[in-house]
Amino acid sequence: MAQDVLCEVSNCVHHAGGNKCGASEIYVVSHRGKEAEKQEETDCKTFEPGM
């Protein structure tokens, strides 16, 4: 399991220094409920707008 989760979305409440994600868990889903075949077909549901 990954020790560090990197994220460049600086307006997320979980964004931490060094482009790290500070969320206790990460939830990623595929678009339209089907299996993803490409990176672009996924979304991070852990995102919460920050400042």
- Strands 28-30 and 42-44 turn out to be antiparallel
Note the pLDDT of residue 23: 95
pLDDT of 15-51, one tens digit each?
999 999 999 999 999 987 789 999 999 999 999 998 6
pLDDT band at 3 (very low <50, low <70, confident <90, very high): confident
Query: What pLDDT is attached to residue 1?
Result: 79
Which pLDDT does position 22 carry in this prediction? Answer: 94
Q: Give me the pLDDT at residue 5, please.
A: 93
Q: What is the pLDDT of residue 13?
A: 96
